[in-house]
Structure formats: C-alpha cells, structure tokens
Amino acid sequence: MSFLPPSSIGILGGGQLGRMFALEARRSGYRVVIFTDEPAGCPAGQVADVEINAGYDDAEALQQFLEEVDVVTAEFENIPDSCLQAVEAVKPLRPSRHAIYTTQHREREKLFLRDRGIACAEFRIIENVAGLEAAVAALGRPCVIKTAAFGYDGKGQAKVGEDTDLSEAWKAFEGHHAVVEQWVPFIAEMSVVGARAVDGSTAVHGCVENIHEHHILDVSISPARVPPAIETQAFALWQAVADGLGYIGTMAVEMFVTANGRVLVNEIAPRPHNSGHYTIDACRTSQFGQQLRAVCGLPLGDASQHTPAVMVNLLGDVWRAELTHPDWSPVLSHPDAKLHLYGKQVAKWRRKMGHFTVLGETVEQALSEARRLQATLPPREG
C-alpha cells in the first residue's frame, strides 16, 4: 500500500533526523506528526504540523498519535519495544519493529550478523567478570567492551589494553550484558547509506569515508577514497544486512576497512545517518527523500551523487556560550558551502548542533575548503 500527499506521516522521536525528514515530507505536501518524549519545541517539532510530547509508555498520548497518522517511522532506534509493538499493531511501521528491535541492541545486532554470515569482528557476549576474562583470553588484547544497549558516539565503550585490570574494567558494565569485540586494526572507517523499498528494490548512495574525533563523527568525505574492490565488498555487506532484516527505509551500515583489504560491519543504523547528510546537497535524491519514498511505499529515487562533497559536523563545542552562536559569515559567504542548523536550544559540549557541507570539483578540493572553514570556528574552552 502506498501513501500519497496529503497523507499524515508519524515520526517517533524529535531530534535532527526527524527534523530533516519532516522538512522533506512537508515540501512534498505530506502532513507530519511528531511523537517524542522531549519537551515542546524540539528540533523536529519546530517544523511539524503536530507535536505530541509524552513518554513512549504513555498509552493515551500514543493512541492520540496513532489516530492522527497513516504510516509511522522512527528517527532513532532507542524506542522502547513496547511502543514499537503498539504502533505496529495498528499502523504500518517502516522500518519494522523487527528491524529496529534487532539493531537497537548490540547483542541482538551482533548475533544477527553472525547468524547471517555477515563479516564483522569476532565477539563474545558476556554478563559478568568471569565472562570478560574468558572473552579476553579467547579474543586477545587489545579488545573492546561495549554495552549491549544504548551506546552511541563512543559512549558505553572501554578498551582493554595489555595492562587493563579486568575486574576494574568490568565495574562500569556491572549488572548488564556487554559485547566484547576483537580489536580491528583498521586503516579507514566508512559507511554505506542506502534505501530498500517495500518491493525489495534498493538504491545505494555510495561509500562515505568517515573521520572521527573523540568517537564522534567529525568529517564525512564522499565519494570515499577507497579502491573499487573495497566498494564492492561494502555494497554487498549493506545489501546482505538490508535483505536479512527485510528492511524498509533508509539505513546506514558503518564499516571498518582493514590493512589486508577486508571490510567488516561495525554497526547498523536503522534510519538516516549523520554520514549521509551530504546527500541533501550532493545527490539527486537525498537520504531523507529516499526515506520518504520507502516509508510511503513509493518507488525509490535516483541515489547518484552529482558533486563531490565533504560534510563537517558542528558540535556545541564551537558555540562561545550555550546560547551564543558562532560567526557563520565564513560558511555563508562561501559559494559552495551549505549550512544546516538543527534548532537545538542549548549548545552542550560535544552535542551535535548542525553541520555544513562543502561541494567541490574533487573530494580533495572540497576537503581542503571544508577544513579551512572549520578552522574559522575554533572551539570554546572546556
């Protein structure tokens, strides 16, 4: 079943991904309803037709939301499963509860990858210090401990080095399941963002090269500076994940590239992704346009990139104070730079507040200009 304008699209979550999706939907004539546990005036709510602010366990508010919408999507994965089940019982949920439930939890995600034979780092699931000791003995040092749930931007992770005391390291994870992953000596990090439609057809934007600072994405470079053989592996991995989940919508798969030319899946994001923001300015159909088409049961658009691009994240670090904006003149004065701010009310340290994208004749030119503009926005102290 397809949904045409002026159908109402419901979005679970009120952050910047919901905002950018809502802008795309409203441009095409859809009505947008936000359900979020954030306060009124959240980034997505600012551009929606209706904003419902309540806990995801608020049955009455959720019922109100469901009465307002024709089809539902989620702008982030950490939605309680009880809420996902309640939505899917009444309205089409795209991506499905199964896809979101699988990928919102590292243990389920890793087991899915292993069961499907999709290349990823070797791992062990543990729940106590004895399990950690056995996992480290099997995987060797260094390795990484990650919380099974609610980890992002490097949160909930700890590296186990040669001198790490395992009993001490486990204290931060006590009482929870965790995943211990073999250390991957990667030479590059990249992602593939693409979409899968209701009929199973797919359209992939391409490989994006990602550079992180403090475990948070700093810069995305597209197209990625990797050989064709790496791209081929990456596309195959993305396709295997999408088909394995029976996915509907835009999805990102983050990957490692090793020195011996292997590509390994690191994480799956069941939604549009930070590293795909360049598609708004550099692709024929953006990741949000593809999400809209897939969620509404429409044919996917042309995902091809028309211009090399580099995206730079803007964190709260570059604000002089919580509500004092930087001088955006250098970015706004550049003929090939595009500024995107997310409407967040408070600029917290290392909080994603916006991004800018620089287009260029080549990725090298775009990267040089992006770094030059980034240097005009020095971070505030501490």
**pLDDT at 363 > cutoff 60:** yes
Is 381 domain-assigned? Answer: no
What lies within 8 Å, CB to CB, of 280 at 6+ separation is 20, 286, 287, 288, 338, 340, 357
pLDDT value of position 150: 65
Is 115 domain-assigned? Answer: no
Is 164 domain-assigned? Answer: yes
Asked whether residue 35 falls in the same domain as residue 145, the answer is no
**pLDDT at 6 > cutoff 80:** yes
pLDDT value of position 28: 98
Is 103 domain-assigned? Answer: no
Asked whether residue 253 falls in the same domain as residue 351, the answer is yes
pLDDT band at 380 (very low <50, low <70, confident <90, very high): low
Six-digit token string for 269 = 């994001």
pLDDT value of position 127: 94
Asked whether residue 358 falls in the same domain as residue 218, the answer is yes
Asked whether residue 127 falls in the same domain as residue 196, the answer is no
pLDDT band at 324 (very low <50, low <70, confident <90, very high): confident
Which amino acid would we find at residue 106?
A: R
Asked whether residue 231 falls in the same domain as residue 85, the answer is no
Calculate the CA dihedral of residues 132, 268, 263, 143 and round it to 10 degrees: -20
Is 176 domain-assigned? Answer: yes
Six-digit token string for 136 = 């480290």
Domain boundary among 160, 182, 204: 182
Asked whether residue 233 falls in the same domain as residue 325, the answer is yes
Tell me the sheet residues that pair with 269.
252
Per the CB < 8 A criterion, the answer to whether 303 and 284 are in contact is yes
Tell me what the mean pLDDT of segment 205-234 comes to. Answer: 97
Tell me what the mean pLDDT of segment 6-21 comes to. Answer: 98
Six-digit token string for 4 = 């045409």
Residue 229 CB burial class (10 angstroms; 0-12, 13-18, ≥19): exposed
User: Residue 346's closest CA among 376, 315, 373?
Assistant: 315
User: Residue 59's closest CA among 88, 86, 91?
Assistant: 86
Asked whether residue 86 falls in the same domain as residue 55, the answer is yes
**pLDDT at 379 > cutoff 90:** no
Task: Please state which of the ranges 51-60, 149-158, 259-268, 314-323 shows the lowest mean pLDDT.
Answer: 149-158
Asked whether residue 153 falls in the same domain as residue 204, the answer is no
- The mean pLDDT of the chain is 95
Is 286 domain-assigned? Answer: yes
Phi, psi of 298 (to 5 degrees): -100, 160
pLDDT tens digits, residue range 250-269?
A: 999 999 999 999 999 999 99
Asked whether residue 329 falls in the same domain as residue 191, the answer is yes
Per the CB < 8 A criterion, the answer to whether 217 and 350 are in contact is no
Q: How many helices (H) and strands (E) does the chain have?
A: 12, 16
Asked whether residue 326 falls in the same domain as residue 216, the answer is yes
CATH number where 74 lies: 3.40.50.20
Asked whether residue 225 falls in the same domain as residue 288, the answer is yes
Is 312 domain-assigned? Answer: yes
- Name the strand (E) or helix (H) holding 66: helix 59-68
Tell me what the mean pLDDT of segment 339-349 comes to. Answer: 94
pLDDT band at 378 (very low <50, low <70, confident <90, very high): confident
CATH number where 356 lies: 3.30.470.20
Is 67 domain-assigned? Answer: yes
What is the count of structural domains for the chain?
A: 3
User: Residue 255's closest CA among 243, 267, 273?
Assistant: 267
CATH number where 145 lies: 3.30.1490.20
Query: 164 is in which domain, residue-wise?
Result: 122-182
**pLDDT at 52 > cutoff 70:** yes
Asked whether residue 20 falls in the same domain as residue 89, the answer is yes
For the beta carbon of residue 116, count every other beta carbon within 10 angstroms: 13
**pLDDT at 33 > cutoff 80:** yes
